[in-house]
Amino acid sequence: MRSRIVGATFLATALALLIGVGSFAGGQGPVAKRPRGARPSPRWAAFTRPHFQPTIGIPASFGTVPPQLDCWGNCDYGDCVSAEEAFKLAAYSVQLGASETFVPSATIVSWASKHGFLNGADLTSVMDAMASDGISVGGQTLKDGPYASVDFTSDATLSSAIFTGPVKIGIAADQLEGVVGSTNGWWLTGATADQNEDHCVCLLGYGTATQLGTMLNVAVPSGVDPSTRCYLLGTWGTIGIIDQKSLINICSEAWTRTPSTIPSPVPTPTPTPTPVPPTPTPIPPTPTPGVITLPAGNYTISIVNGATVFTPAPSGQTITFSAPVSSIQILETPSTKAKKP
């Protein structure tokens, strides 16, 4: 009997290791999962809340990549649903052309702990708390706008929702876990159906594989059709790309907030250049009456094309005024007086 118990215990341990929280590599033990923490929202919530209606006229591709990212506690705690709110605040502010609203990690952890969300929460409960209480960032209380469910199986609807602001979704993260690295630009394609919702992430953009790869400055992986419809997905302090089919296979719920943040971030104004006054047209100086000394001699006074011209009797010099003179005063000098008869 004892040998059977020991054998059974060994078998159970071996099975747990094989199907447990990680995989073996190079003789190392199982690799622990990243913290998650999402629980499915009550199913009635999707029926009692409004359904998002897509708008027309959205661009063919769109995406927001905040310059500063963080795990917002989700690398240590199961606060993914709260961490998504910080992701949303950062992305939405950048989307509107404002300075990034960056929430310190300690602020999110404290907020999640206070509301009982630090190690598990459903998506609608966190959005309710954000709508009623909000979170204080930089001395300002920021809240969620009213939320509506989104049909994530319709690309037109989901893309339109993303264009209005980041979309909060609940997913099964086992297949996502294997591709997310520590930097932006990872890809999840070919994911199979899994509805064991345990993680909350943020959708930040849409477009073809090529368009989104360009946004993140990464190449489309070999074997992926460049025209495949994809989405930008933010989680664990990074942003990557997931194809539409994979998203549908692992997603269980999706929500949009309208507006995403209250009060809405104020776009940073573009500095207006200081106008340079036009250079005034120079005004020609008024001629100051003066004395023109003419060489001794006999002159012929004539008007040629509106100008007064003095021509000496033996030619050799011509003095021209720019306009007819109104009078001419001839003054005698001692030398001219001496020559008079």
The pLDDT tens digits of the residues spanning 226-264 come to 999 999 999 999 999 999 999 999 999 999 999 999 998
Q: What is the mean pLDDT of residues 299-326?
A: 63
Please give the Cα distance from 280 to 272 (Å, whole number): 23
Give the span between the Cα atoms of 36 and 199, in whole angstroms: 5
Tokens read off for 329: 């005063």
Average pLDDT of the chain to the nearest whole number: 83
Q: What pLDDT does residue 28 have?
A: 32
Cβ-count burial of 147 within 10 angstroms (0-12 exposed, 13-18 middle, 19+ buried)? buried
Whether residue 27 has pLDDT greater than 50: no
Task: Tell me which residue has tokens 């999962």.
Answer: 33
Whether 42 has a pLDDT exceeding 80, the answer reads yes
Asked whether the beta carbons of 83 and 71 are under 8 A apart, the reply is: yes
**Three-state DSSP class for residue 90:** helix
The residue with tokens 């027309």 is 56
pLDDT at 337 over 70: no
E strand or H helix at 288? none
Burial of 264 (0-12, 13-18, 19+ CB in 10 A): middle
The pLDDT assigned to 327 comes to 62
The model's confidence at residue 179, banded by pLDDT at 50, 70 and 90, is very high
In this structure, of 15-24, 73-82, 162-171, the range with the lowest mean pLDDT score is 15-24
118 Cβ neighbours under 8 A, 6+ residues apart: 73, 77, 78, 79, 82, 109, 112
H/E run at residue 123? helix 123-132
Name the residue among 189, 215, 187 with its Cα closest to residue 64: 215
Tell me how far apart the alpha carbons of residues 219 and 84 are, in angstroms, rounded to a whole number. 26
User: CB–CB of 91/82 below 8 Å?
Assistant: no
Using a pLDDT cut of 70, give the percent of the chain over it: 72
- Residue 200 backbone phi and psi in degrees, to 5: -120, 130
Q: For residue 52, is pLDDT > 70?
A: yes
Query: What is this structure's pTM?
Result: 0.71
Average of pLDDT values for 212-237? 98
Judged against a pLDDT cut of 70, whether residue 157 lies above it is answered with yes
Residues 6+ apart with CB under 8 A from 220: 209, 210, 213, 226
Confidence of residue 279 (pLDDT cuts 50, 70, 90): confident
Whether pLDDT at 5 is above 50: no
Q: Report which of residues 329 and 224 the model is more confident about.
A: 224
pLDDT at 290: 52
How far, in Å, are 145, 270, 279, 281, 331 from residue 276 at the CA level? 44, 18, 9, 15, 53
The predicted pLDDT at position 15 comes to 33
Position 64 pLDDT exceeds 60: yes
